[in-house]
Amino acid sequence: MRKQPKLGQRLMAIVGFLALAAPLSLAPPALGLAPVDSVPLQAAGQESEQIAPVKDRKKASAASTTVNLKLRERPETSSASLGTMAKGTVVSLTGKEQGNWSQLTWGSKTGWSATRYLNTGGEAQQEPQSLLRGKPASTQFRYVQQSGATYSHWNPKKFTVLGRIHLGERYEMRRWAASSRRDEILVDGQWVWTSVTDRQRVDLQYRYTQSTGPVYTASGKATGTIRRGTKAQWGTWNAKNRRNEVKVNGKWVWTDVHNRHKPAGMLPPVSNVSDYARFTTRSLSGFIKKKDNLRLHSPYSVAAYGTLRTGQSAYNVMGGFQQKAMNQRFHRSSLYQFWDRNWTFLTNGPKTVAAEQFQYSDAKGPGMLRKLDIYESQLRYQGRPMYTRQNVRLIDGSQSWTYKTTAFSEKVVKNSGRYISSGDFLKRS
């Protein structure tokens, strides 16, 4: 029969067992193992300070930030910040997690952010390359290289057009989408995307109103008038409509009465004294001899737009000139072609027409005009001349003689002729 232990021995065994078990029951719980419900909520941009072992999910993926979120060196709020990622920033998850933190790559930087503010849903589509280029924490600027559109998204399949920015303007930039080659810039308080900005500085450009005329909306509707001599910021040139985009009274409009040259004769005479005109400009005041200097129109300047132009069939008629300006255009005109392709006619119209401007001396000028009057009077219809010599304005503000349709012949050519949309005799068909 087995001998039972005495009472004292039993008590000693029980005390020894409790002594061994006491450290286990008094040990503190492992940090970071609190249930989800016990984790406190943080305001946008804050992160939890709890520490947990790093887990490696092994499968990297893309995510986007749901708030303006800090990227930190380590998974704790006391760690140094690597920068603040704007809401909607697309990042790459490395697959490593530690408690409520996820490791990710933002541009060239890798760090930790709060997992709860990362969206791994359908909108978090990863850019083929880093979405961010440059220093996230520094302020950078970009210049508009040519006027163009702004968009709502970096992805060409998702964007909508939001507006326009213009040549030479400077904007704050924060991100660059490598696949679509678009910068994200701040325009009027809104972050938008565009493909027409770069680091290279571009100066603003300006144009001058050559004559008082209308301004138009992008759809072509007249929306006001601009006066001759007005200096306006310039955006771009529409070759199809032959109009400039300029900024007038804080709004961008289109006009066909501008070019880059300051109009001639912008020194208005205050009073006339014999052959001199008094003028005032800035801090200077004095007189200019009108005969030689202060005039828009030379008495012996001739502008040609058809067969009298360089290299054309009647160019030899224009011999003996002193100067020749090749790249001129008639202001507010149209060009028509009649039965013969060499029979072209300058009429009144809404656009401009290509021309060459010939200058003759006082000695040769009178004879040249008589010769041209005879030459141009040969073309007649129903016994009436088709051309008449008229003094016309060119887009640089100067004036010249040219041979234009009469009231009768203008009706004929507009009813029976063919309109040359380019306004250039050399580009007719």
Whether the predicted pLDDT of 256 surpasses 80: yes
As a whole number, mean pLDDT of residues 381-390 equals 93
Question: CA dihedral defined by 400, 378, 311, 337, rounded to 10 degrees?
Answer: 80
Spatial contact of 369 and 300, defined as CB atoms under 8 Å apart? yes
**What would the pLDDT profile of 197-222 be if each residue is shown by its tens digit?**
999 999 999 998 888 889 999 888 98
Which region, left, alpha or beta, applies to residue 88 given φ > 0 means left and ψ of -120 to 50 means alpha? left
Q: How far apart are CA 271 and CA 140, in angstroms?
A: 54
DSSP string, 322-360: SEEEEEEEEEEEEEEE-SSTT-EEEEE-SEEEEEEEEE-
Nearest to 280 by CA among 289, 293, 269, 264: 269
Q: What are the structure tokens assigned to 230, written together?
A: 């007005």
E strands, 131-269, are 140-144, 148-151, 161-165, 170-177, 182-187, 190-194, 197-198, 205-209, 213-216, 222-226, 231-238, 243-248, 251-255, 258-259
Q: How far apart are CA 129 and CA 180, in angstroms?
A: 10
Whether the predicted pLDDT of 67 surpasses 50: yes
Spatial contact of 387 and 201, defined as CB atoms under 8 Å apart? no
Phi and psi for 133 in degrees, rounded to 5?
-125, 140
Percent of the chain scored above 70 by pLDDT? 73
As a whole number, mean pLDDT of residues 348-365 equals 89
* Collapsed DSSP state (helix, strand, coil) of residue 287: strand
What confidence tier does 177 reach under pLDDT thresholds 50, 70, 90? confident
At residue 39, the pLDDT reads 29
Q: How far apart are CA 268 and CA 266, in angstroms?
A: 6
The C-alpha angle 151, 88, 137, rounded to 5 degrees, equals 95
Spatial contact of 162 and 151, defined as CB atoms under 8 Å apart? yes
Question: Residue 228 corresponds to which amino acid?
Answer: R
Whether the predicted pLDDT of 79 surpasses 80: yes
As a whole number, mean pLDDT of residues 375-382 equals 92
At residue 18, the pLDDT reads 47
Q: How far apart are CA 290 and CA 274, in angstroms?
A: 9
Q: How far apart are CA 336 and CA 353, in angstroms?
A: 10
Domains and CATH numbers, the chain: 43-119 (2.30.30.170), 140-198 (2.30.30), 205-259 (2.30.30.40), 267-293 (no CATH), 296-427 (3.10.490.10)
What confidence tier does 352 reach under pLDDT thresholds 50, 70, 90? very high
> Count of residues for the chain?
429
Per DSSP, what are the bridge partners of residue 325? 357
* Collapsed DSSP state (helix, strand, coil) of residue 307: coil
Whether the predicted pLDDT of 169 surpasses 80: yes
**What would the pLDDT profile of 9-49 be if each residue is shown by its tens digit?**
554 555 454 444 444 333 333 333 333 322 233 333 344 34
At residue 269, the pLDDT reads 44
Residue scoring higher pLDDT (122 or 167)? 167
N- to C-terminal Cα distance for the chain? 131
Q: How far apart are CA 65 and CA 107, in angstroms?
A: 14
Whether the predicted pLDDT of 400 surpasses 60: yes
At residue 252, the pLDDT reads 94
Spatial contact of 60 and 101, defined as CB atoms under 8 Å apart? no
At residue 377, the pLDDT reads 92
Q: Is 157 exposed, middle or buried (0-12, 13-18, 19+ CB in 10 A)?
A: exposed
